[in-house]
C-alpha cells in the first residue's frame, strides 16, 4: 500500500534532462520543513537556508548513501556504492549535496504518445563516484561526474586505478557535466559541497561557471554537449548525420550553439557512439577540424576515417564563424604544435 502511495505522489514528476529523474521507492521519507543543521566548519561556506530537494508533496528520502569526496586520491572504503539492478540512486555528498539520477532513460511509444522509462544500472555496477578531469590541454570546467567500477575487496587507492568507468549501452561513458550538476533541481547544493571537498575543482573554475549560470539562468533546455576548449572529448551517436554542440564562452558568459556534420560511415546504428573533439587548425577557413578519437569496433574498417584522423568542419545548421575558434583557443590551456593522440577515454 505504501509503494502505491509513493507511485501516485511522484507519478507527475518529469526529468529536467535525459538521465535525471526523482522517483524513489523502498526508502523512508521525512518532512523537510525544518532548517538543515550546519556544522561550525561549514558556516563560512554554506548558506544557512540551503535548498533541500522535495519529492512527492514536499517530502524527501532520508536514507541515502553518504560519500565523503569525489577525489580519487582521497576515497575511503565507506564511499563504496553498489548500484547493480537499481533504477535510481540517491547519494548525499559530504552531507550537504543530494544527487538524484538514473542510469539512462529509454524512449518508448504507446498509443502514439512518446514517453521515457528508466533503464536499471547493469550488473556489476559497484564502486565509486568521482570527478573526472578532462585532458590537461582542455579546460577544467569540462570535468564530469563519473562512476568507477571497482573491486570492493581492494582498498580504494589500489582498486580505483585498475577499475573501469561505467559505460552506457552505446559505449560512451556514463557522466553528468558540471553545468547540469549546478542547475538541475534534482542535484542540490553541489557547489557548496565542491568547495568543502578541497582540490576537487578550483574556485576560479567555479567562479567562471557561476558567471555563466547567472547570465543565463539555465534550467531545462541545457545542451547535452558543452564544449569549453579544444581537445575536449565528446560522444557522437553513430545513428545521426550531425551533432549539436554548445561552445561555451566564459569571458562573455555566452553559449554559442552549432550543429556540425559528424557522420563517419555510410551505415548507421543508434545503439553505438564514437568519440571526437575539436582541434585548432589555422590553415582551414573556420580554423577548426574534427579529430576522431574512438570508433566502435563494429564500424572499424568501414568508416571514412581511421581513429586519429580528422574531418573537415562543416556546419549542418546555425551560424558558424571563425570567431568561434578564437573562443576555444582562448580557453584552451595549451594548443600543442604537434597533435598528440593520447587522450584517455577512461
| Three-class DSSP labels, the chain | CHHHHHHHHHCCCCCCCCCCCCCCCCCCEEECCCCCCCCHHHCCCCCCCCCCCCECCCEEECCCEEECCCCHHHCCHHHCEECCCCCEEEEEECCCEEEEEECEEEEEEECCEEEEEEECCCCCCEEEEEEECCCCCCCHHHCEEEEEECCCCCCHHHHCCCCEECECCCCCECEEEHHHHHHCCCEECHHHHHHHCCCCCCHHHHHHHHHHHHHHCCCCCCCCCEECCCCCCEEEEECCCEEEEEEEECCCCEEEEEEEECCCECCCEEEEEEEEEEEECCCCCCCEEEEEEECCHHHCCCECCCCCCEEECCEEECCCCCHHHHHHHHHCCCCCCCCCCCCCCC
Considering 205, 238, 254, which residue would you say is the last residue of a domain? 205
| Same domain, yes or no: 188 and 244 | no
Q: Residue 106: inside a domain, yes or no?
A: yes
Q: Residue 236: inside a domain, yes or no?
A: yes
Q: Residue 345: inside a domain, yes or no?
A: no
Angle value at C-alpha 25, between 190 and 117, nearest 5 degrees: 80
Q: Residue 218: inside a domain, yes or no?
A: no
Considering 157, 177, 205, which residue would you say is the last residue of a domain? 205
| Same domain, yes or no: 255 and 180 | no
Whole-number pLDDT of residue 329: 93
Q: Residue 234: inside a domain, yes or no?
A: yes
| Same domain, yes or no: 318 and 187 | no
* Measured distance CA(255)–CA(238) in Å, rounded: 25
Q: What is the domain extent for residue 114?
A: 2-205
| Same domain, yes or no: 96 and 228 | no
10-residue mean pLDDT series, the chain (346 residues): 41 38 34 36 38 44 80 96 90 92 76 70 96 90 96 94 95 93 88 90 89 70 79 94 92 90 95 96 93 96 94 84 90 64 43
| Same domain, yes or no: 24 and 146 | yes
| Same domain, yes or no: 314 and 240 | yes
Whole-number pLDDT of residue 276: 96
| Same domain, yes or no: 6 and 142 | yes
Q: Residue 341: inside a domain, yes or no?
A: no
| Same domain, yes or no: 306 and 163 | no
In the sheet with 65-67, reading across from the earlier edge strand, the strands are 65-67, 88-93, 97-102, 187-188
Q: Residue 336: inside a domain, yes or no?
A: no
| Same domain, yes or no: 254 and 184 | no
Give Cα 235 distance to the centre of its chain: 11
Considering 142, 175, 205, which residue would you say is the last residue of a domain? 205
Number of compact structural domains in the chain: 2
* Measured distance CA(28)–CA(62) in Å, rounded: 6
| Same domain, yes or no: 160 and 270 | no
| Same domain, yes or no: 107 and 33 | yes
Q: Residue 342: inside a domain, yes or no?
A: no
Whole-number pLDDT of residue 114: 58
| Same domain, yes or no: 55 and 183 | yes
Contact 227, 248 (CB under 8 A): yes
Whole-number pLDDT of residue 110: 57
Amino acid at each position: 500500500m505504501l509503494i502505491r502511495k509513493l507511485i501516485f505522489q511522484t507519478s507527475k514528476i518529469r526529468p529536467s534532462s535525459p538521465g535525471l529523474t526523482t522517483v524513489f521507492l523502498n526508502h523512508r521519507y521525512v518532512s523537510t520543513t525544518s532548517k538543515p543543521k550546519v556544522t561550525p566548519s561549514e558556516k563560512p561556506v554554506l548558506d544557512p537556508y540551503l535548498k533541500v530537494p522535495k519529492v512527492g508533496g514536499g517530502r524527501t528520502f532520508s536514507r541515502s548513501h553518504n560519500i565523503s569526496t569525489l577525489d580519487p586520491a582521497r576515497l575511503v572504503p565507506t564511499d563504496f556504492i553498489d548500484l547493480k539492478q537499481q533504477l535510481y540512486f540517491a547519494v548525499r555528498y559530504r552531507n550537504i549535496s543530494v544527487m538524484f539520477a538514473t542510469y539512462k532513460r529509454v524512449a518508448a511509444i504507446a498509443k502514439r504518445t512518446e514517453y521515457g522509462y528508466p533503464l536499471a544500472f547493469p550488473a556489476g555496477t559497484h564502486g565509486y563516484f568521482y570527478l573526472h578531469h578532462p585532458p590537461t590541454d582542455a579546460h577544467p570546467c569540462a570535468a564530469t561526474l563519473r562512476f568507477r567500477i571497482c573491486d570492493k575487496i581492494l582498498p580504494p587507492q589500489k582498486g580505483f586505478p585498475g577499475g573501469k568507468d561505467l559505460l552506457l549501452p552505446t559505449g560512451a561513458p556514463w557522466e553528468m557535466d558540471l553545468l547540469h550538476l549546478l542547475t538541475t533541481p534534482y542535484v542540490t547544493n553541489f557547489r557548496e559541497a565542491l568547495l568543502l571537498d578541497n582540490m576537487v575543482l578550483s574556485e576560479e573554475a567555479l567562479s567562471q561557471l557561476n558567471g555563466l549560470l547567472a547570465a543565463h539562468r539555465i534550467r531545462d533546455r541545457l545542451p547535452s554537449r558543452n564544449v569549453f576548449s579544444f581537445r575536449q572529448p565528446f560522444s557522437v551517436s553513430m545513428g545521426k548525420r550531425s551533432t549539436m554542440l554548445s561552445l561555451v564562452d566564459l569571458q562573455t558568459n555566452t553559449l554559442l550553439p552549432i550543429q556540425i556534420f559528424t557522420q563517419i560511415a555510410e551505415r548507421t546504428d543508434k545503439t553505438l557512439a564514437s568519440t571526437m573533439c575539436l582541434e585548432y587548425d589555422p590553415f582551414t577557413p573556420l580554423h577548426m577540424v574534427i579529430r576522431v578519437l574512438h570508433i566502435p569496433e563494429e564500424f572499424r574498417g568501414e568508416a571514412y576515417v581511421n581513429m586519429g584522423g580528422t574531418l573537415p568542419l562543416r556546419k549542418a545548421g546555425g551560424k558558424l564563424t571563425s570567431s568561434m575558434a578564437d573562443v576555444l583557443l582562448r580557453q584552451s590551456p595549451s594548443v600543442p604544435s604537434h597533435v598528440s593522440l593520447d587522450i584517455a577515454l577512461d
